[in-house]
Every structure is written in structure tokens, then in C-alpha cells.
Structure 1
């Protein structure tokens, strides 16, 4: 109580001085405390009584220090405090009830059950109706992987508690009030989220970008996600497998966190398919791929958009050294780094080599996990 009072009373005083109401960020402490009390099982009536008592003490203290001629000022303060009390208690009740709903969903396991049925290709409609979960006609299917958070430096027990809280914050964000439910099957490392889709959405990319940014904020860590959009219920299994494949490609290509779609890695996706053509491509480029110095130079050359000066600076060598290495590649490989056909072939060979070295898991295994 004293700690909360020290944070809250200055907020009340500032509001009285300026005649304005606290902003949403100012009230974050109240929401966090209310959610914490809900998790601890503190009755809402007791929580409201404590806060009402705090406002009562504040007004009584104001009356004790008021002069005889300050009755009008004291009356004004009383009305202002009543207005603030209404705002505070509304925030507390909303946060408390929202946290209770999240806890109820977690304990019942209803949402993960429906998400798992979708992932396994089973018809979830009967179970969804029984569990009072509204399904959408189609979903944006996201595969999600969480990065490390600031909690990674804690000991094992404390880290486990922090990871549970992180997961809980994410699930609270995903809980929707009314309408089709956002379905999720998440653990401490990531998982799947199925976001309801409502017809044509011209701002889908922007909406999903904000959605992933919100997840990152709740998780307190970076997120790498892949999405396959506007998928009917019957296609969720295949879409989830494709989203997993995209994430595997993103990892193999050493891409950073963010939201990815198939067109972001379409070339690598095609090159990841086995076949005699790829085997021949790798065999032809083997003299270059097996030479670490030449391979690194070529990879950097492509990453620098064929700019030899930038390549030299990146490698900390003289530009003539880059030229000599590129000439050497042209001598030992059937593909020249100075022609369009050669650049295309060598770039494809480097991509295939990186994908094979990354060893993405069999995508068919994800949906069964």
C-alpha cells in the first residue's frame, strides 16, 4: 500500500493542479496491480475497498490542512477526487476482469484445444460450439518464434517464472472480446497464432505488422514470424506447414526478426526443393564453395550489390584483391561473376549451400508437435 500510494498520490496532485485527467500511460501501474491481484486471487470487492479507502484518506487529509476560509476549494477538491476515483476504479475493474478471463481461458485449455484441432486438420466446429468459441470463416495463419529476453541471464528457476509471465502477457493480448476468437497454441519458445480474417482487408499487411509489434511488446523480446494469409479452416494445416517452412528459410538465410511472407523468400523457397538440377548446380560451383576465401568474397560481393569498393571495405582488403578473387572464381568455375547468367547461377548456388548447411527440419513434423 505505501508503495502504491507514493506512486499514485503525485499523480492525483498533478491532476488537481492542471485540471486534467491522467493519461493511459499514467494509469498503467493501476492496471498492472489489478491484474496482479487477480492472479493472486484477491477478491475484487476487497481491491475496490482498499482503493476507495485510499481516496477517502486523501480527502480527509486535505480537510485537516484546509483553512476555515477554504471551504470552496475543499469542495472543488472533493468533486475532483470523486472524478478521479471513478476513472481509477474503472481502470482497475476492467484490468482485473480481463485478467480473470485470461486466467479462466488458460485453465480451461479451450482455445489451445481448438487451435490444435485446426492444426491437425480435424473439424473443430462441434467442440468450438460446446466451449462457446466463435470461429471465423478464414484465418491469417502465423508461425511465431520468440527471441531471447532480458530474463535470459536469470537462474533456471527465476527464468522459468519469467517465461511463464511472458507467455501469460502474450495470451492476455490475444484474448478478444466478442466475435471470432484469436486462436493460439503457444509455449515459451513460440508456436502458432490464427488471427480471424473478415473478408477483403486492403490493409492486411499494416494490421498484421501492428499485431506482431504488439506481441513483441507483450513478450519483451524480438519475434520472428511468418504468415500465410486468408486461409479457410480446412487449409490451416497446410498453411501452418508453409509458415514453418518460411521461418526455416529465414533462419537459414540469417535474416533478422520481423514478419515474413512467402514472397520475401520466394527464391530460396524454390531453391530448397530437391532435384537433379540443384545437384548439378552445386557440383559445378563446388570449386568456389569449397574455398572459404573465395566463397566469402563472392557472398559479400552479392550482398554489396556487385559494388567492388563496398565489398573491399566490408572485407577490409584492397579493391584489387576483390578483383583478383573474382577473376580466380571465373577461372575455376563454369559460371563467371561478370556475366548475368554467371551471377544468377552463383547466387543460386550460394543460397542452396546455405540452406543445406542450415538443415531446416522436415516441415511435415511441425503440425504434429
Structure 2
């Protein structure tokens, strides 16, 4: 069993932090110490201690790779002392029936936090206690006879109670340390993201985050539709939305070769994917892979994703982020549907969204619809659905007859008929211009 150490390296009692309820001392049962073969079990453990400690260490090194990878000096010193002290403390549990109290459990939590800081996996830390307990149980029960059954059961009860509290203490300390570390790590990464989006040199922020600046980033502006669960009556919408965002973030991390920087909400957001190649070295294959990743992200998070992307060196991320935000808005306004878009994919719509008299004239064509948002949304959905009224109705969650009615109404008000092929280019351009002008229009209130 692995017990915590003091700062000087001397053994300290096992301990951890679980709160008053869990940390309260178990009352002594008043029963005599469990015996087997006429000998108290705790005495047998003390007698076997010189052989028991090496046996436990051998099991740790054989069965837990994290301990086998420790420096030999640490194993011979700290880990050996901790193992011996853990056994001695379990001896007291067997002798008295008293489980570890709050002070002792707090020290176990502190020791577990140190293991977390060293990068030892949680399963290895918990496993060390269990392997030690197994070795102790094997030795003390080796000579048990049928008449010893009540004592065996009492020893087992004390062993399980001990492991229950110790395991909880280990997990508490470990998770507490990892949450603190992850919190600091996340703050540093968000500071790096903010610095990249502000422009200027991000090197100092990258150093604080412990991340090397890559030759380039793929800058993604993501618009995320709702997960089907978000639309179900009686379902907690915020829970479904958070699950969607969590899956999206996890898949970005899993698929990235480096550490992605993200700022995501239920409606989408921004992501920077580090690349090992400078911007000039990125080719068609890289964009094909990114397109496949966007499709995978949509499947994983269960939502429709419209993603605009551009490549930039670290000092060009701020400008790239502004560009992809505009490209995403243009692609969405043009009803281009889900998938990956670059500036080259929306050159006409992007240019039409720039200020000027031509844009003002195009936007004016849809001015009669300014007070009818359902008509504008229907025109966009009709385009995104490839001019299929049934698919448009599915997107809008209305009856196809409703789509027909709205399209006829929009035609009557604007003179542009989406069912007439000659009007489609003008209608598409007018939508891009109208939405661009609307974004620049000051809001009231």
C-alpha cells in the first residue's frame, strides 16, 4: 500500500479530504482483533513486514507501468517507505476496527495530488492501494480454517471499509489537482487565443501557455445548428446544447495534430487548428482533409455545421478571423447550406456584400420584404435546399404548401420569382446585398 510522505521524506499517516461526513472516525466495534489459526491477523502482518514490503513493491512494478517507469531512487526511497507505512496503518485498522479519520484522509488526498502533478495516472494511484491490500489479504488468510470464518468476515469488512475511504480520498485529491491544473491551462490557452485575435506578437502568451507557435493555423468560423434533442418538447435544451458543444470540442482536439484553440458556444464560434506547414505549403489535399473533418464534426456533434476557413501565420490570425467571419455570414445568407467554405467559394456574394451603390441597388430589390422575416427566411431555405420546396419545408419545419404560399407572396412584393431561372442570379445577389446592408444598419434602442 502506498502512503503519503512528508516534505522531508519521512512517513506520515494515510489521509485525505472528503468532508466531515466521510472523514469522521469509525467507531471501534469492541470486538477482539480478527484471528486465523489462533494468531491475531495484525500481528501476522507485522511479523511478515520485512517480506511483505518487497512483495508489494514487486507487484506494483510488475502490474503498474507508471510505477515501473519511476526512477529507481524514488522506488527504493519514497515508494518503499510509503508502502511500509501503508501496511502499518492497515495493521491498525485490523487491530482496532477504526477507519481513517478526516486528518488522515486529507493527507492521502494531498499525496494523490502530488501523484497527479507528476503525471501518474489515477488508475495507477488507486491500483497501488488495492494491490497492497490484496497482498496483505493473501498472507493473512493463507492459514485460515473453517472455524475462522467469523474472523475472516470481520477482517474482510474492515479491509473493504478501509479501501472505500482510501479510494475516495485518492480520487478527491487527484481530481482536485487536475481541475486546478486544467483551469490554469485553459486560462493560459484562452489568453493566447485572445492575443492572436488582437494582433501583434503572441510569443509571450504562447510561452505562458506552454505551447509552441505553429507555422500556421487553419482559422475556422463555425455556425452550428441545433441538435435534434434541443428541439424535443420536455427536453432540457441547455443540457442538449452543452453536450453538442462538448462533442464538437472533443472531436476537434482528437483530430488535431497539435492543441487547438477554441471559443465555442451552442451556436458555433471560432477554432484555430495548428498546422505543421506554413501557409504557402498548404495544398489542395489539406483543404480536402479539412472538408472531411467538417463532415465528421457534424456527424459527431449531431448538428448541421456551416464552416468558413482560411489559413494564416500566427501574426495574421486576427485578419483571417475577421475574413472567415464575413465569409460565413455571406455563405449563410446566400443559402449555401452546410459544409466548408473558403473565400473562393463565395467570391461573387462576398463582393456584392461590400458597400457601394450597386449593393444598395440590389438590397433595395428586397426592401418590400423588410417587415416580413418569414418570407426572407423562406427564400434562403429554398436556395439552400437546391430549390426543392419539400426540402425547404423540412428545413423550416412547415408544410410544403406554406413554402409555396410564401414564395408567391415574395414574388408579388419584389417581382423576383425564385421559380424562374432567369431571376435566380439576381435574387441570390439581392439576398447577399440585403443581408450585408442589414448587418451594417444601426439597431434601435
TM-score norm. by structure 2 comes to 0.44
The alignment status of 1:205 with 2:205, answered yes or no, reads no
CA contact under 8 A between 2:312 and 2:320: conserved in structure 1?
yes
* Counterpart residue number, 1:148: 226
* Counterpart residue number, 1:278: 359
CA contact under 8 A between 1:141 and 1:236: conserved in structure 2?
yes
1:176 CA displacement: 6.5
**Structure 1 unmatched ranges of 5 or more:** 1-37, 53-96, 307-313, 317-321, 363-369
Q: 2 CA distance for matches of 1:45 and 1:219? A: 32
* Counterpart residue number, 1:263: 344
Q: 1:173 aligns with which of 238, 251, 267?
A: 251
The alignment status of 1:233 with 2:311, answered yes or no, reads no
* Counterpart residue number, 2:324: 243
Q: 1:255 to 1:47 in 2, by over 3 A?
A: farther
* Counterpart residue number, 1:134: 212
* Counterpart residue number, 2:65: none
Q: 2 CA distance for matches of 1:143 and 1:304? A: 22
Q: 1:348 aligns with which of 429, 434, 437?
A: 429
Q: 1 CA distance for matches of 2:385 and 2:244? A: 38
* Counterpart residue number, 1:79: none
* Counterpart residue number, 2:188: 110
Alignment coverage as a number of residue pairs: 264
Q: 1:154 to 1:46 in 2, by over 3 A?
A: farther
1:115 CA displacement: 1.3
Secondary structure (helix, strand or coil) at the match of 2:272 reads strand
CA contact under 8 A between 1:114 and 1:127: conserved in structure 2?
yes
Secondary structure (helix, strand or coil) at the match of 2:262 reads strand
Q: 2 CA distance for matches of 1:263 and 1:122? A: 27
Q: 2 CA distance for matches of 1:269 and 1:305? A: 20
**Structure 2 unmatched ranges of 5 or more:** 1-115, 132-173, 388-399, 403-407
Q: How large is the RMSD of aligned CA atoms in angstroms?
A: 5.4
Q: 1:220 aligns with which of 302, 325, 332?
A: 302
Secondary structure (helix, strand or coil) at the match of 2:349 reads helix
Q: 1:264 to 1:133 in 2, by over 3 A?
A: same
1:195 CA displacement: 1.4
* Counterpart residue number, 2:268: 190
CA contact under 8 A between 1:173 and 1:215: conserved in structure 2?
yes
The residue correspondences of 1:154-169 to structure 2 (distance < 5 A) are 154-155=235-236, 159-160=238-239, 162-169=240-247
Q: 1:343 to 1:222 in 2, by over 3 A?
A: closer
1:270 CA displacement: 1.0
1:175 CA displacement: 3.3
CA contact under 8 A between 1:175 and 1:181: conserved in structure 2?
yes
CA contact under 8 A between 2:202 and 2:315: conserved in structure 1?
no
TM-score norm. by structure 1 comes to 0.52
Deviation string 1:147-170 (CA, Å, 9 cap, x unpaired) is 2112455236xx34x444443333
Q: 1 CA distance for matches of 2:208 and 2:302? A: 35
1:44 CA displacement: 1.3
1:119 CA displacement: 1.0
Q: 2 CA distance for matches of 1:146 and 1:303? A: 15
The residue correspondences of 1:318-329 to structure 2 (distance < 5 A) are none
Q: 1 CA distance for matches of 2:431 and 2:205? A: 48
Secondary structure (helix, strand or coil) at the match of 1:141 reads strand
Q: 1:284 to 1:195 in 2, by over 3 A?
A: closer
